[in-house]
Chains A and B, each alone.
Chain A
Amino acid sequence: MIETRQAPATQPLLRVEHLSTTFDMGNVSVRAVTDVSFDLYPGRVLGIVGESGSGKSVTARSVMRMLRSPGQVREGQVLLDGEDLLAIPEREMQAIRGKKIAMVFQDPQAALNPVMRVGDQIAEALLVHGTSAKEARKRAKALLAQVGIPDVERTIDQFPHEFSGGMRQRVVIAIALANNPTLLIADEPTTALDVTIQAQILRLLAQLRLELGISIIMITHDMGVVAELCDDLVVMYGGRVVEKGPVRDVFASPRHPYTAALLKAVPRLDAKGDEALIAIPGSPPVPLRLPSGCAFHPRCSHAIDKCFNDTPPLSSMGDRRESACWVAAAGGNVEPRPTDEFGRHRRQASGAAPTLRLDNVRTNVASSGGLFSKTPPVYAVDGISLEVFPGETLGLVGESGCGKSTLSRTIMGINDVSEGRIEVSGTDVTSMDLAARNLVAKTIQYVFQDPFASLNPRRTIGQSILEALEVVGVTGAEADNRVVALLIRVGLSEDYVSRYPYELSGGQRQRVGIARALAANPKILICDEPVSALDVSIQAQIISLLEELRDELGLGYLFIAHDLSVVRHISDRVAVMYLGRIVEVGTAEEVYGNPQHPYTVALLSSTPEPKPDQSTEHRVILTGDMPSPARPPSGCRFRTRCPIGPAFRSDREICNRQSPELAATASGQKAACHFAGEASLARG
């Protein structure tokens, strides 16, 4: 943790008072933000946390006066150094935007102009505020170096597509910093990035705050990011601030049931694995239909009669703490009560035969090239062997581009197997002929990441599930009954049969996706990032549902995710994948408790945890990005980024020459590293 968390200076840099923003749509006026107040002191980082529809982004846009029509600030003041930004003319506001307040957006791909060189884009930010062209270029170079872009002389004239995602986000930050702003508003700046890259960006922001004394408003949904970077915290729910206070105090003793529940709903990296997640029931409210009284009351396990009708005001709870809760104000307990608890029964491999077995599978993803040219093969999956047993979850972890989705698609027969062997229930299905395809479809089903995209928007929920039943030959009245049974099984009801996907919330849609996957009575579900598109409070519900189904139906899961804490929570065994290969595999306890491969160590160490007191100094943060599978490095594939490899220790020639085999290590699991066990977690 960075040691600037002392008591704030006397004068706030930014003071937002009673801000209310509405969206007028025809005859209805939607209140997106209601009576939001907070202070930001110089040199500090304020986290604004909330789920979709909580009003956190609208708050930021209101401060910047960049609301999209028909959004309108109804009331309130935004005082920057004592000057009300809402009262000054637009022309003056333009001068302040970029110069005093700068913004960093979630998707660096969308924030950069693809046909402009990055140097020119940074210079542009300077030119509009009246710097000379020559001066601007000089400053652009300095900025790129400051945000950690290597080889500035060359990269300054490159286009955004020549940069990786993390590098692009650095460029966006460089543009934001161009005019030495005093305030940086970052709207989910790391959500689109991988954990190892996220760790790089978070470290960069922390460092900039120290070096430049800049104040940051960090908008995020991730409690881990808050714990790592922020000093103060504002929790928003249903367009209102429900709790605020110093991060450390809020995490130690939340004074609002929502904050408390949110902290409990996120799986922890250091959890033993048998602790139940306490899911928050229901889903976040839509601003158009906010519940009466306290907006959280329908989901709150502590709600009393007063909560149904009267909106609790934000009231002081001791030293710089405020909370808007009737129960907390009366001194009541706000820790969530475990309502429906799904205990975790860790099972040993039962000695049964594996339902799914992969033996040295390689998948070529290069396009066929056409008649006259031969493209060299690109193996996104390069020699993977794994087994999934009934009733067991195999977690598969890796960053984007490591080939985990290609692997799952190869198992489903969407991509062809180039080499190796796939066995389903003991039968070789590598050829994926008609009989093999039928066997795969009957045995293995797929739960998709984005439940909205994987349901046909033109077909009702009933039709979508019926289609899956039709494939396995269930038709007529029996099929209709099965549809209802499946919906009830995943926690929905008969009413949903005739609804369309757009009428459902994200969590409900994912339940439908699971129901559809269960239609064929499969033995194995491949869950491809099943919760990463969902709000934090919904994730726990879906994870609990998946665990319950696994234990009741004896399903085997191949659970693919980038979120290490979620994988830890649900998995019996874990495999870590890097650039088409498995680098470490073992039980969850082994891999998380005592990682042997340096990549696993780096992944674990990069994951921000919701513990504000954790030291970030001894983190293993990887440099650079994953190489392209089209040109994998010789020898060990991880050597270009390895903290214990030849990049840092020149005597380690062997890593350049020889690819390490997956071999048993001292602590039980298998790891593919010449120096397994050398890198270790420095947990503080």
Chain B
Amino acid sequence: MTDTAPPNRQKARLNPVLSRYLQAFVMPKGQIGLGLVILLTALALLAPVLFPGGYDMQTRDSLLPASWAHPFGTDELGRDIFVRSIYGLRTDLALAATAVPLSMIIGTFLGLSGALSPRLGSLVQRALDIIVGFPGLILAICVVLVVGAGWTALLVAIVIGGLPGFGRLARATFLSQQHREYVVAARTLGVSNWKIMVRHILPNAIDPIIVQGAVFVVAAVFTEAALSIVGLGLQPPEPSLGILLNVGMRYITMAPFYILGPTLILVLLALAFSLLADALNSTVNRK
């Protein structure tokens, strides 16, 4: 051994990847985003405890204005809109928490499939192009027509809608990485295509994918709302933010809080994940 080694060792040897993501929560926007996500998730999770009456509990008065007892007023059947919004949030978060990771995993794999076989890779891209070619709502309506309106249809529509985004990001990483010398080096060693994909290309794709995931949570909630507004999502009486908006639209002049309340929750949700995505993005790209 002749070279003298620069003796700087990385401090956080244990999990440098995780510690990098955690840095996102040091900056204010990351903190606010995380705080909002925790708050909203806690509200959604604890809804049955906080509001044991459930989302169908009626009072005697319908279409009450906002008050301390009913922060967003009551609906046409005298149900508390705040409570219904929280239960709606619960539905939406559950949907996003299922659909987004699913879309993320499938989309990433599809995008990286070029590492297994170049033909498969370009075939998949053309398929994703077709998905992009459909306007989101039309695509969702097609899914509903096939699967039938309901939770499953929403799930499928959101997962499919997210594939091109994740797929293309992963593809971009794959294309830039496949000619990197360490990937070529692995190929000359005889490492299998599958291992090259998982070991050498995937780790580079994860950063942009995670940011896209946070962005896509917002898109997922909006997709649910859009489908429910046109009546193709969940069916009443089950609450979702979209259904509340759908019904509330009819009473917009009589009870503006019917719309404003769920909208506020929706905006907070969007804000929370946008801030989170933003913070993650800046830590990931700072390196």
Q: A495 to chain B: closest CB distance in Å?
A: 8
B2 lies within 8 A of A541 (CB): yes
Q: B49 to chain A: closest CB distance in Å?
A: 43
B188 lies within 8 A of A491 (CB): no
B182 lies within 8 A of A438 (CB): no
A448 within 8 A of B: yes
Question: With A414-B188, A437-B190 in contact, is A503–B3 under 8 Å at CB?
Answer: no
Residues 152-199 of B at the A interface (beta carbon under 8 Å)? 180-182, 184-191, 195, 199
A323 within 8 A of B: no
Q: How far apart are the CA atoms of A498 and B204 in the complex, in Å? A: 20
With most chain B CB atoms within 10 A of its CB, the pick from A467, A491, A504 is: A467
A453 lies within 8 A of B182 (CB): yes
**Which residues of chain A come closer than 8 Å to B203, judged between CB atoms?**
458
- Give a binary string over A384-421; 1 marks a CB under 8 Å from any B CB, 0 the rest: 00000000000000000000000000001010000000
**Which residues of chain A come closer than 8 Å to B181, judged between CB atoms?**
448, 450, 453-454
A282 lies within 8 A of B189 (CB): no
**Which residues of chain A come closer than 8 Å to B200, judged between CB atoms?**
456
Q: How far apart are the CA atoms of A34 and B1 in the complex, in Å? A: 30
Q: How far apart are the CA atoms of A580 and B188 in the complex, in Å? A: 22
Question: With A492-B1, A503-B5, A505-B6 in contact, is A441–B182 under 8 Å at CB?
Answer: no
A471 within 8 A of B: yes
B8 lies within 8 A of A503 (CB): yes
Q: B4 to chain A: closest CB distance in Å?
A: 5
Contact of B189 among A441, A450, A507, A538 (CB under 8 A): A441
B188 lies within 8 A of A467 (CB): no
Question: With A448-B181, A453-B182, A454-B182 in contact, is A504–B189 under 8 Å at CB?
Answer: no
Question: With A441-B188, A453-B182 in contact, is A503–B2 under 8 Å at CB?
Answer: no
Contact of A283 among B3, B182, B186, B204 (CB under 8 A): B3
Q: How far apart are the CA atoms of A281 and B1 in the complex, in Å? A: 9
Contact of A467 among B5, B9, B10, B191 (CB under 8 A): B191
Question: With A282-B3, A286-B6, A491-B1 in contact, is A467–B186 under 8 Å at CB?
Answer: yes
Interface size, B (range): 20 to 34
Residues 486-541 of A at the B interface (beta carbon under 8 Å)? 491-493, 495-496, 498-500, 503-505, 507-508, 511, 513, 516, 519-520, 538, 541
Q: How far apart are the CA atoms of A492 and B2 in the complex, in Å? A: 8
Q: B144 to chain A: closest CB distance in Å?
A: 35
**Which residues of chain B come closer than 8 Å to A508, judged between CB atoms?**
3, 5
A493 lies within 8 A of B190 (CB): no
B4 lies within 8 A of A471 (CB): no
Q: How far apart are the CA atoms of A440 and B2 in the complex, in Å? A: 32
Q: How far apart are the CA atoms of A441 and B192 in the complex, in Å? A: 12
Question: With A448-B185, A459-B199 in contact, is A438–B190 under 8 Å at CB?
Answer: yes
Contact of B4 among A282, A472, A495 (CB under 8 A): A282
A298 within 8 A of B: yes
**Which residues of chain B come closer than 8 Å to A281, judged between CB atoms?**
2
A456 lies within 8 A of B5 (CB): no
Q: How far apart are the CA atoms of A437 and B6 in the complex, in Å? A: 39
Residues 1-47 of B at the A interface (beta carbon under 8 Å)? 1-6, 8-10, 13
Residues 453-471 of A at the B interface (beta carbon under 8 Å)? 453-459, 467-468, 470-471
With most chain A CB atoms within 10 A of its CB, the pick from B181, B191, B199, B203 is: B181
Q: How far apart are the CA atoms of A146 and B13 in the complex, in Å? A: 58
**Which residues of chain A come closer than 8 Å to B188, judged between CB atoms?**
412, 414, 441, 445-446
Q: A654 to chain B: closest CB distance in Å?
A: 42
**Which residues of chain A come closer than 8 Å to B2, judged between CB atoms?**
279, 281-282, 491, 541
**Which residues of chain B come closer than 8 Å to A445, judged between CB atoms?**
188-189
Residue on B nearest A492 in the bound complex, by CB: B1
Question: With A456-B182, A456-B200 in contact, is A298–B189 under 8 Å at CB?
Answer: no
B190 lies within 8 A of A471 (CB): yes
Residue on B nearest A519 in the bound complex, by CB: B189
Q: How far apart are the CA atoms of A440 and B188 in the complex, in Å? A: 9
A289 lies within 8 A of B184 (CB): no
Q: A549 to chain B: closest CB distance in Å?
A: 15
**Which residues of chain B come closer than 8 Å to A505, judged between CB atoms?**
3-6
**Which residues of chain B come closer than 8 Å to A298, judged between CB atoms?**
4
Q: How far apart are the CA atoms of A590 and B240 in the complex, in Å? A: 85
**Which residues of chain B come closer than 8 Å to A496, judged between CB atoms?**
5
B190 lies within 8 A of A500 (CB): no
Residues 211-231 of A at the B interface (beta carbon under 8 Å)? none
Residue on B nearest A526 in the bound complex, by CB: B188
B6 lies within 8 A of A493 (CB): no
B9 lies within 8 A of A503 (CB): yes
Question: With A459-B199, A468-B189, A471-B189 in contact, is A500–B3 under 8 Å at CB?
Answer: no
List, sorted by A's number, 9 A–B pairs whose CB atoms are closer than 8 Å. Answer: A442-B190, A446-B185, A467-B189, A467-B191, A471-B191, A504-B3, A504-B5, A505-B6, A520-B189
- The 3 closest A-B CB pairs, nearest first, are A441-B190, A453-B181, A454-B181
